Amino acid sequence: MTETFYDVMRRQGITRRSFLKFCSLTAASLGLAPSFAPKIAHAMETKPRIPVLWLHGLECTCCSESFIRSGHPLAKDVILSMLSLDYDDTIMAAAGHNAEAIVTEIVEKYKGNYILAVEGNPPLAEDGMYCIIGGKPFVEQLKYAAESCKAIISWGSCASWGCVQAAKPNPTRATPVHKVPGLANKPIIKVPGCPPIAEVMTAVVAYLLTFDKLPTLDRQGRPQMFYSQRIHDKCYRRPHFDAGQFVEHWDDEAARQGHCLYKMGCKGPTTYNACSTVRWNEGVSFPIQSGHGCIGCSEDGFWDKGSFYERLTDINQFGIEANADAVGGTAAALVGAGIAAHAGLTALNRAKQPGAEKQ
Amino acid sequence: MTELTSAASTAPIYVYEKPVRLWHSLNALLIVVLSVTGYLIADPLASLKGEASEHFLMGYIRFVHFSAGYLLSIALLFRLYWAYAGNEHARQIFLPPLLKTHYWQGVFHEVLWYLFLVKEPRKYIGHNPLAILAMHFVFVWGVLFMIVTGFALYGEGAGQGRWQHTFFSSWVLPLFGSSQSLHSWHHLFMWLIICFVLVHIYVALREDRLSRQSMLSTIVTGWRTFKDDRPVDDESGA
């Protein structure tokens, strides 16, 4: 019964030639040397296929939508055939109790040997009643599946950070996967983005399945190979930033010339993702290339950082819409007024003391 | 020190050694440069026309900001060394005598003085206790915060593997949650330091006229002169 990845691929009608192409492509996209392509091929020919259980919590399915549109159809086909999509409530054939039984079946059959991919996150308020799957709160299904998995992939900003449903005031207490209390202590790979880039998703799965270990993660748990640089660092409009050429209005000449969108609130300088290198839709474009600033969708709490069109973050603690300049400027003005008042009082006080001038 | 206190003379005392005075002037210059360039990085000047290859305005502004940041950090490191190597006044703002009652009485008296509730301030060879408090908690820690967050922001651009990233960005970024929050805090602390500078300059001018010892001339020469011959109130050994 131990099918290898290669067996599965051949059964799905993928030729050996395509298979080898995929191995080279994966090696390249993971930034590995050409010598790794045969190693990937060897691993896939010999290792038993690891099933991936893909759960959905509070989410919008944009991760799935992105994933199935992976730029290289080849990669997509191969990866999809590697995934056991027996349970993925968006695209699975089964329904109702039969579908729910599949989760139990995989957990029992592959104990400790399957990957748990989570799209979306569980709401914790009211015992998790804001997200019910098969009559039970999603948080219970998540904990159950996490108990005997090998590793967890947090797909997208929902699972990684919380995203829109966890934005203030977060009435349902939507909680990212790594913060769910009582969740089994398993390695978690965060693949943030709303949605994450398709090629990034497939590469992460390919890495996990072929090397049987986690890719190198940064301190925040994201694969370093895709999240170690900011959009800004590799943006093709960066020369305009350095030159001091900015779009000031959406319809000005600079906008037509494709100058830097920094002044329009582009979050490229504070966002870690691979959009400016990998791009989207088979490398066609990415938001900045389309003339709109980055909104920072792969960053923690990006919904709560104020307008997408302002550089400075809103500081909500002050009750009104305020940013660092408003708060700081007001403070400086108050201090200045205080100084003026104090100086006035001092002068007045001195004037009242007749002996003071002698000193 | 105790002999000096009991001597109770108006004789000038050499308080601030050359490195301390130099550090003070350098800081003043760097803070102005860093605040102006920092503000312009967050809120750039009007857009330039023409080809990108003809200009490097943001690049120069950022270069000045980073260079000034490096100078500020190196100067602080040197100043910390001088707190150890210099005279007792050189460590006053780094090691406030927070556990001494006399010190807090001094702080309280100084507050009353600024609230016009006492007729006369106390007399000090070094900084007054309130000044020590402000310089330690607002300035020293404020500048240290700016240096740490500044290097963390710099490390983001420098990239992984560079020491700025290894020693700063790698732990500061997760601490603040995101680069955006880190930028906001770095920006807010600029305003804190600007507020400090405003108050600092005002009280220096005011104390120069109203306190019992010299201020502005001491900044330049390092010598403290006194306006009366009564004993000083410095915490001994402070």
Q: Which of B52, B174, B191 sits opposite A239 (nearest CB)?
A: B52
Residue B202's closest chain A neighbor by CA? A339
**CA B95 to CA B114: how far, in whole Å?**
24
**CA A109 to CA A114: how far, in whole Å?**
10
- Whether B184 sits inside 8 A of A335 (CB atoms) is no
In a domain, B152, yes or no: yes
* A205-248 per-position pLDDT tens digit: 878 877 778 899 988 899 998 998 999 999 999 999 999 999 99
In a domain, B163, yes or no: yes
Q: Which of A245, A324, A343 sits opposite B184 (nearest CB)?
A: A324
Nearest Cα residue to A13 out of A74, A69, A99, A55: A74
Whether the pLDDT of residue B7 is over 60: the answer is no
- Is the CB of residue A74 less than 8 Å from the CB of residue A22? yes
Q: Please state the rounded mean pLDDT for residues B121-130.
A: 89
- Is the CB of residue B33 less than 8 Å from the CB of residue B64? yes
Q: How many domains does chain B have?
A: 1
**CA A275 to CA A230: how far, in whole Å?**
9
- Whether A342 sits inside 8 A of B57 (CB atoms) is no
Q: How far are the Cα atoms of B103, B107, B134, B237 from residue B100, in angstroms, in the given order?
A: 5, 11, 17, 11
* B170-196 per-position pLDDT tens digit: 999 999 988 999 999 999 999 999 999
Q: How many CB atoms lie within 10 A of CB A231?
A: 26
Across-strand partners of A133? A136
Q: What is the pLDDT of residue A118?
A: 93
- Whether B202 sits inside 8 A of A296 (CB atoms) is no
Enumerate the residues of chain A whose CB falls inside 8 A of the CB of residue B54.
243
Q: B137: domain range?
A: 2-46+54-212
Least confident of A177-181, A199-203, B5-9: B5-9
In the structure, what pLDDT confidence band is assigned to residue B2 with cuts at 50, 70 and 90? Answer: very low
In a domain, B119, yes or no: yes
In a domain, B107, yes or no: yes
Whether the pLDDT of residue A84 is over 90: the answer is no
In the structure, what pLDDT confidence band is assigned to residue B237 with cuts at 50, 70 and 90? Answer: very low
Q: What is the pLDDT of residue A33?
A: 82
- Is the CB of residue A109 less than 8 Å from the CB of residue A115? no
In a domain, B226, yes or no: no
Which are the contacts of B187, defined by CB distance < 8 A and separation ≥ 6? A312, A324, A325, A328, B38, B42
**Helical H segments across B45-178, by residue range:** 57-85, 101-114, 129-134, 141-158, 163-164, 170-176
In a domain, B61, yes or no: yes
Whether the pLDDT of residue B50 is over 50: the answer is yes
- Whether A328 sits inside 8 A of B191 (CB atoms) is yes
* B64-108 per-position pLDDT tens digit: 999 999 999 999 999 999 999 999 899 999 999 889 888 999 999
Residue A22: Cβ-neighbour burial (10 angstroms; 0-12, 13-18, 19+): buried
**CA B225 to CA B215: how far, in whole Å?**
9
Enumerate the residues of chain B whose CB falls inside 8 A of the CB of residue A305.
178, 180-181
Q: What is the pLDDT of residue B235?
A: 60
What CATH number does residue B27 fall under? 1.20.950.20
Task: Provide ipTM, 2 decimals.
Answer: 0.86
Which are the contacts of A145, defined by CB distance < 8 A and separation ≥ 6? A53, A55, A103, A107, A116
* A250-297 per-position pLDDT tens digit: 999 999 999 999 999 999 999 999 999 888 887 889 999 999 999 999
Chain A: nearest CA to B26, how far in angstroms?
A: 23
- Whether A313 sits inside 8 A of B202 (CB atoms) is no
Residue B203's closest chain A neighbor by CA? A339
> Any idea what DSSP says for residue A134?
T
- Whether B178 sits inside 8 A of A300 (CB atoms) is yes
